[in-house]
Structure 1
Amino acid sequence: MTPYGKTAQTAIAAISRLAEMYDPVKRVKLNSAEIAENRKMPQPVVAKVLTILSQAGLVNGSPGPGGGYWLARNPEMVTLYDVVSLFERQEENVSCPFGPHYCGTGPHCPMHFDLLKVREQMISFLRGCSLARFVGWKPGQPATDSHSTRQLPILPMI
């Protein structure tokens, strides 16, 4: 449900699974196959994004039998922006639906300012949403915001 490519979506799904299982005392480890099975994604893609997340310092891993991955930091310290920015270019300019040479070389297109507003809202959401939102969450539970028990609104697809 994100406006990003499949690799970024896979990374969010994988790291959110690690956040669901986060326990700073037990340090629960999950391997790429366990995460892939839980999220119903291809294991090779999950393994690839976990490697990138590990190189970025967002997750730690241990090799071999009994090895696996876990969050490198408290989920409150990792935002969705931290994850998405590894896989998607966060350009300052919004691509114009009329082509790359329309906005900026003449008058703005009819959607220019609306698209800028949507982009700013999305970046603000990603920067403000930490992985803490996933801690202890189980499938089938209603989604709630981190400050109350009210159900979150469904965001429109962009």
Structure 2
Amino acid sequence: MSPYGKTAQTAIAAVSRLAEVYDPARRVKLNSADIAENRHLPQPVVAKVLTILSQAGVVNGSPGPGGGYWLARPPEGVTLYDVVALFERLDDNVSCPYGPQYCGTGPHCPLHFDMLKVREQMVTFLKTSTFGRFVGYTPPAAPPAPPSKGAKRSLNVLPKS
């Protein structure tokens, strides 16, 4: 159901697996074969994705026998955006369904502003969703905002019929 390519999907799957085994008390390492087997993914692609994630500082790794990968930060400190942005273009450009020469060179197509809104919603979702969600982490609830001065309270009373 992801709107992104297979490489970004593989990266999300790999990081979500590392989030599942994350333990702040001890470093749990998984190699690319472990992750590929658990997520039913091709091992060479998982290995390539983990290398890119390691270079970006999302995961750490150690080579050789007994080596493997682990999250560089707790799962709630890694957003989906941190991962997807490494594999997908998330810039402000939205592909026009009328073709690349339509929007921006004349009037906007009929879908232009709706597509911009969907893109903004997706980026907001990616930036606010962490891998903590994969392991049941729930962020603390924000305290309710105090009422503004001069605001009247509404009792939401329904009129009698």
Deviations 1:82-129 (CA, angstroms, capped at 9, x unpaired): 000001111212010000111111111111111111100000000000
Partners of 1:79 and 1:96 in 2: CA distance: 28
What SS does structure 2 have at the residue aligned with 1:69? strand
More RCO (CA 8 Å, sep 6+): 1
Give how far 1:23 is off: 0.3
State the AA in 2 paired with 1:105.
Answer: T
> Matched residues, percent identical?
77
User: Which ranges of structure 1 fall in alignment gaps of 5 or more residues?
Assistant: 138-144, 149-158
For 1:40, the equivalent position in structure 2 comes to 40
For 1:58, the equivalent position in structure 2 comes to 58
Partners of 2:8 and 2:91 in 1: CA distance: 15
State the AA in 1 paired with 2:132.
Answer: A
RMSD: 1.5
For 1:79, the equivalent position in structure 2 comes to 79
State the AA in 2 paired with 1:111.
Answer: L
Instruction: With the length of structure 2 as denominator, give the TM-score of the two structures.
Output: 0.83
Give how far 1:46 is off: 0.1
Partners of 1:59 and 1:37 in 2: CA distance: 19
For 1:3, the equivalent position in structure 2 comes to 3
Larger radius of gyration: 2
User: Which ranges of structure 2 fall in alignment gaps of 5 or more residues?
Assistant: 141-161
For 1:156, the equivalent position in structure 2 comes to none
Runs of 4+ in 1 over 3 A off after TM superposition: 145-148
